[in-house]
Amino acid sequence: MSLHLPLDRRAGITHPGGRLRQWMGALSCGVILAGCAVQPQPLGEDAHSDAGQRDRERLAAATEPLNRPVTLAEATARAIRFNMDYRQRMMEEGAAARQLDVANWDMLPKFTLQAGYTARDNDAFSYGVQPDGTKTVSPSTAIERRHWTDSAVFSWNILDFGLSFYRSRQLADQVLIAEERRRKALQNLVQDVRFAWWRAESAERLLPQVDAFLREVDLTIARARLIENRRLLPPIQIIGYRRALLDLAQQITLRRQDLAAARVELATLMNIGPGTPYTIATLPTERQVPDFTAHIDALENLALTNRPELREERYRARITDLEHTRTQWSTLVPGLGVDAGYYHDSNRFLVNNSWEQAGIAAAFNLVKVFSLPAIDRSFDAQRAVDEARRLALSSAVITQTRIAAVRFQLLKNEFEVWDEALRDDEQIIRYLSAASQIGLETELEIVRAKARRMVTLMNRDTVHAGLQAAMGRVAYSVGVDSLPDQLDDRSTEGIARALIERVASFESAHFKTSEPVLLRPVRIATPAGLPEAMAAPFTTAMQRALTVARIPTAGNEPAATIETRIDMEPSRDQSRLVKMKVRVLDAEGRSLLDAEQRSMLIEPLDNPQWSALGEGVAYRVIVPILRHLGQPAIVR
């Protein structure tokens, strides 16, 4: 230090106390940086409360008032417009598109403007070295203590361009993936709204009836206890009646909970506050269920083409291929760059303060070339994984499509059973109510019959809601969009109209409304081997049994003919063995059934016995006749 200090002072590049000031400055900077350390700052309760209130207000504002009963199409349209989960998917799609816009700018050449200011507290003196290696005696400088610099540079690199190009193509596929995810979210939303709306429609009709009937059940149970106390009926009978009525009331209460929850679910899907009152546009009580007419193989092919999950996997496979190409590009293509610019420096010691400069440079990493085989093997393995995942998903899609079709048919059969049971329950109530003498037992039985009818009605409507959801599930399983790609009118009414048209188009192509089956009549030939007096009750009983089975027995052009031959053996011990041969022939005379029956008649032979024989023959031939007439069978 003693050797350099005088020289430094003579050069004028240090000042007394300079080293102390440097240490003090460094210490001050350390204190400032320590004070800038970030610490967790939790929000206060008031901030959380205010944020929650603002969110609630925004949710309430992101909807429109309901001033009429909500139809299925309107409920779905409102969900599409105001459901927050679906909005999130739409915004994710928009964000992906904006990222692509940003990436496209990365492919353009770079034009950089730069300016700077440099200042130091002493001069940048330095010694020079002579050609013979001796150091100059006096130091010198070519840089001012304070000077400005600025530049404008245009540069372009082929490697950066290629990487940015493939990155942009990958982001373009990410945009398409976001679109497929939005499509799936829309299909899920439409499916959820359909199921919730049909249950809410049942709730709109049934809940008032259920509440009124539960009050009637309470009164009836109280009355049953009074009857038990007064011994008006046997205790075991009235206790069994009350217990059965309580079981039915419990079933009604459970179903009521499901119906009440459906209204809340539908309100949530439409972004309506849970406490906001609204009504459902109810439909007639009679339900008409269409038949499934689509071909399963065609639906499976449609599903493999349209399902958003499979389309997303195809885009992912393309992204993998692009990533492979991008990696190979970065390995094989040299970093060839071109730049040209204008520069300026205010340093007064420079001879030329402004100048223009251009250059070209290339760089190539030879070592990375040897990694190409490993890169290819890695991407081959990734392609195999992508293909295996896509094939597994395709198998799942095919299974879901077939299950959707089978489930629809099973629910249709179950609905028909409940619908038939409802008609029987209503008929029982009519018979009990029309009885000429109504006593205590009949009055109590009427209430129990009404409870059974209410359970049947709620079960039928629940199954019908599931059946409607199964119809929607068929469309969902094949990936059909509920809205067209271009929708001019995005109001609630416009979306509802588009939904009605699209759903009607799909259902008309794959479902057909059930129509009454008009069967051709069946002719009953006069039974051979019987006198006319005995043949009349025999034939009349056959006609009655066929009528119950909904097989007409009168009309032109019969579809089938029933021929019967009866042989009676001699009387033994006041009884006779009767042998009956039955044949069913189609319109062309081909045999549909050949059967033989035996029965024992008691002397004297009377009309009831011949009627019983006629019904027995009819029951024997009903199944083959229905098969020949082509009654609707279960779709597999």
**Number of Cβ atoms within 10 Å of the Cβ of 186:** 21
Tell me the β-bridge partners of 118.
147
User: Is residue 23 one of the residues assigned to a domain?
Assistant: no
Tell me whether residue 579 is in a domain.
Answer: yes
Q: Of the ranges 305-314, 371-380, 606-615, which is most confident?
A: 305-314
By residue range, what is the domain housing residue 581? 522-629
In this prediction, residue 1 carries a pLDDT of: 37
Max avg pLDDT among 7-21, 254-268, 269-283, 517-531: 254-268
Residue 439 lies in a domain: no
Residue 547: both structure tokens together: 């009528």
**What is the sign of the dihedral through the CA atoms of 18, 21, 27 and 29?**
negative
Residue at 445 is within a domain:
no
Structure tokens at 558: 């019969």
Residue 4's pLDDT band (cuts 50, 70, 90): very low
Q: Give the residue-averaged pLDDT of 601-622.
A: 82
| Segment 532-547, tens digit of pLDDT | 778 888 888 888 888 8
Q: Assess if residue 564 is contained within a domain.
A: yes
Structural domain tally of the chain?
A: 1
Give the span between the Cα atoms of 451 and 283, in whole angstroms. 23
> Does residue 593 sit within a domain?
yes
Is residue 78 one of the residues assigned to a domain? no
CATH number (domain holding residue 559): 3.40.50.10610
- Beta bridge mates, 581: 565, 596
Length of the chain equals: 636
- The verdict on residue 528 lying in a domain is yes
Confidence band (pLDDT; 50, 70, 90) for 429? confident
- Residue 490, classed as helix, strand or coil, is coil
Calpha distance 522→159 (Å, rounded): 85
Alpha carbon of residue 343 to chain centroid: 61
Report yes or no on whether pTM surpasses 0.85: no
- Bridge partner residues of 117 (DSSP): 148
Q: Pick 306 or 601 by higher pLDDT.
A: 306
pLDDT tens-place string over residues 19-35: 556 666 666 666 565 55
- C-beta pairs of 37-42 under 8 Å, 24+ apart in sequence: none
